[in-house]
Structure formats: C-alpha cells, structure tokens
C-alpha cells in the first residue's frame, strides 16, 4: 500500500446515503413507530416495543443522560433485542434472579416475541437499504471524478449496508470489494486488497471496506463469504451485517481484516474525511483518535449540514469533545454528502485542507 494512496481516506456513515433515499438509523425508529400505529403486522409488538424503549432510556438516565442525548436508534434497539433473545444462552443469565414480570409476559415463552419482533425489523431494514430509485445515489459518482484528480486509489471505509458505493463501478472505475465476481464460486479473498503493493500493471480506482457488512453478502455451508447481485434470495434474518454502536471485533473475516485495515490507514492518513458518521461507535472513534494523535498536522474533515457559521463552530466543538482531541485537528465542511461530492474542484479542496509541515519548501 503506497503511502500516498492513504494520505486521504474516507469514512462513510448512515448520513452519507440519506440523499440516496436511505433513512438514517435514528429516522428508522420513527418509521417503526409509525408502522406500529398503522400496520397489522406491527401493532401486536407495540407494548413490547414501548417496554424495551423505556428500559433503554431508563438505563441512560441512570448515567445522567436524558432526552435527545440518549443514544437510541435502530442499532440500539436491534442490539438490545438480540441480547434479550439470547435469554438462557446469555453469560449474564445465571446472575439474573428474575426477569421483570411485565417483560416476561410481553416476551412470552422462550422470548419468542422478541425473536419475531427483531426479525420483522430486519425485514424492514432490508427494504430500506434497497430504494426503488437507485439513481438518487448517483452523487456517489463524485468518487470517480475525485480519483481522476488525485490520481491514486481511494480507500473508502463504509459503516453502511447499502450498495451505493458499489454502483459507482463501471468499465473505467474498478471498485475492489474482495470478490472477483458474484456467486458462490467467487469467495471473498483478503489478498485482493493487498495486490499491487509491489507495483502492479493496473490498480483498482477504489478499495471499499464494508466494515459492518452488506445486504448482498451470504455465507455458504463452510461459512465462506460471497456476494450476490440480487438480494431477493438473501434472507432478512440471515443478512451478513453487524449493528455497529456496540460493535466488537469479530474473530472472523472480513470484519477482523477490515478493522485492521482501518487502523492501518488511520495511522498513516494525513486527512480523514468523515461523511455522515455520528461518532457514536467507540471502537471506530478510538482508531480515529490514535491516528490524529500520531501527528499534530493530521486532520479530520467532518462533512455536516450547518445552516450558518455558528453551527459549524458548534459542530467542530462537539466532534472534538466526543473524541477528546484538540479543535485544531477538526475541520467542518458544510453541506450534505450530495453537495460535498458535487463540489467543484473537490480534489484541490481536500489537498488544501492538509496542513503543510513547517519545513515544507512550498
């Protein structure tokens, strides 16, 4: 991996795909609550949902976190349901004298209702990740324009499950995802990300690392990973995805490899460009912090919609506070993902955002 190719790296969060008509995780909660009011498949879970949501807010309240500050979104909800669903298999089960009686009544025998509710949410999640009009994500093609300007492979780390970035690929823009093609004969291979370090004849224009999985990934009987072009045959309750807020290292690829690559790139990057990421994942944050603290000239660019200058200043202070880094490390680029990728002379803008060392002749 040449050092120049990781001078500028990209981190995509859920907000990056909002303009592509894919809702953010917090907005998904609102849609679930609306479904429970209107749809017969969802209304039976209303009381169970209210109980779980109240418990999550209660837990945050014990830590002095209230209201909008409670980290409550689709990831929090599904993570909680998953842990509850484990019931007797959970390592903490022997230490729990008794479950809340109302919760047991709502969850029913063997917590079957928990399982049904979680799978219903996953079914809806898959639909959210597959918008009818994929052309709304065409702004991601700004990656192709940017790569031609920078003239080195882009390293893009995505926390999203959607396929917006992959759709940028065409005959002139190769996106390396670890697969040689679709189907079970083309298994994921980490070495595809390492090819070219010795000077290949042809490098991909982008390396894409989907840190939390993808809606078009499947496992064969041997647990080997492959991808499919059509997601209809990917069962919603067997999607190869990880919910990220409480993400822990999976002792399996590709997740372990992608985490290693992210750490490797953040330690060498001069500029980390964060688009649509909420800084709610401690595991990801720690690696960003390590990279920034490695050199005072390192910068984190946060693409965020700010209606005025004061909002940009507030956002900068908020991010630096969450990460515990000096505000000088943080740059706020005002706008959405769409306006960012459509920005004129984006490559030059990014290059100028990297401070020159004191001994630079330029």
pLDDT in tens, 137-172: 999 999 999 999 999 999 999 999 999 999 999 999
Residue 99: pLDDT above 70? no
Name every residue whose Cβ is closer than 8 Å to that of residue 8 and which is 6 or more positions away in sequence. Answer: 150, 154, 269, 270, 271, 273, 350, 354
Cα–chain center distance at 72: 16
* Strand, helix or coil for residue 350: helix
334-360: average pLDDT: 88
Secondary structure letter of residue 312 according to DSSP: H
Higher pLDDT, 141 or 194: 141
Residue 247 pLDDT grade (very low, low, confident, very high; cuts 50, 70, 90): very low
Residue 359: its pLDDT value, please?
Answer: 54
Residue 21: pLDDT above 80? yes
118-126: average pLDDT: 93
Residue 286 pLDDT grade (very low, low, confident, very high; cuts 50, 70, 90): very high
**pTM for this predicted structure:** 0.90
Residue 196: its pLDDT value, please?
Answer: 54
CA pair distance 218, 216, nearest whole angstrom = 7
Higher pLDDT, 97 or 166: 166
Residue 164: its pLDDT value, please?
Answer: 96
Query: Tokens for 125?
Result: 């999640």
Query: Tokens for 221?
Result: 């009987």
Alpha helix positions (H), the chain: 25-38, 46-62, 74-86, 101-107, 112-128, 142-150, 255-268, 282-293, 309-323, 337-341, 346-352
Residue 198: its pLDDT value, please?
Answer: 45
Residue 95: its pLDDT value, please?
Answer: 64
CA pair distance 83, 61, nearest whole angstrom = 20
Least confident of 96-110, 177-191, 225-239: 96-110
Mean pLDDT (the chain) is 89
């Amino acid at each position: 991996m040449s050092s120049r190719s990781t001078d500028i790296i990209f981190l995509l969060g859920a907000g990056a795909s909002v303009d592509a008509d894919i809702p953010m995780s917090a907005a998904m909660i609102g849609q679930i609550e609306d479904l429970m009011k209107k749809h017969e498949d969802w209304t039976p879970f209303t009381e169970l949902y209210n109980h779980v949501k109240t418990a999550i807010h209660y837990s945050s309240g014990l830590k002095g976190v209230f209201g909008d500050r409670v980290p409550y979104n689709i990831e929090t909800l599904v993570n909680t349901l998953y842990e509850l669903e484990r019931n007797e298999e959970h390592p903490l089960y022997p230490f729990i004298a008794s479950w809340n009686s109302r919760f047991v009544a709502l969850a029913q025998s063997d917590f079957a209702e928990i399982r049904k509710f979680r799978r219903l949410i996953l079914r809806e999640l898959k639909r959210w990740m597959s918008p009818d009009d994929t052309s709304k994500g065409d702004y991601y093609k700004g990656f192709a324009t940017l790569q031609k300007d920078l003239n080195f492979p882009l390293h893009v780390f995505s926390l999203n499950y959607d396929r917006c970035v992959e759709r940028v690929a065409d005959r002139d823009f190769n996106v390396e995802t670890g697969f040689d093609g679709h189907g079970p004969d083309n298994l994921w291979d980490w070495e595809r990300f390492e090819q070219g370090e010795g000077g290949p004849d042809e490098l991909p224009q982008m390396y894409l690392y989907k840190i939390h999985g993808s809606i078009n990934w499947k496992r064969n009987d041997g647990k080997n990973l492959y991808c499919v072009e059509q997601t209809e045959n990917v069962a919603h309750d067997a999607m190869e995805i990880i919910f990220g807020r409480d993400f822990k290292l999976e002792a399996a690829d590709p997740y372990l490899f992608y985490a290693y690559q992210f750490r490797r790139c953040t330690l060498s990057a001069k500029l980390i460009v964060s688009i649509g990421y909420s800084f709610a994942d401690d595991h990801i944050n720690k690696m960003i912090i390590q990279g920034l603290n490695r050199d005072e000239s390192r910068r984190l660019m946060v693409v965020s919609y700010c209606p005025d200058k004061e909002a940009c200043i507030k956002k900068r202070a908020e991010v630096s506070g969450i990460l515990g880094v000096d505000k000088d490390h943080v740059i706020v680029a005002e706008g959405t993902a769409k306006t960012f990728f459509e920005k004129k002379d984006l490559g030059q803008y990014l290059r100028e955002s990297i401070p020159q060392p004191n001994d630079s002749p330029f």
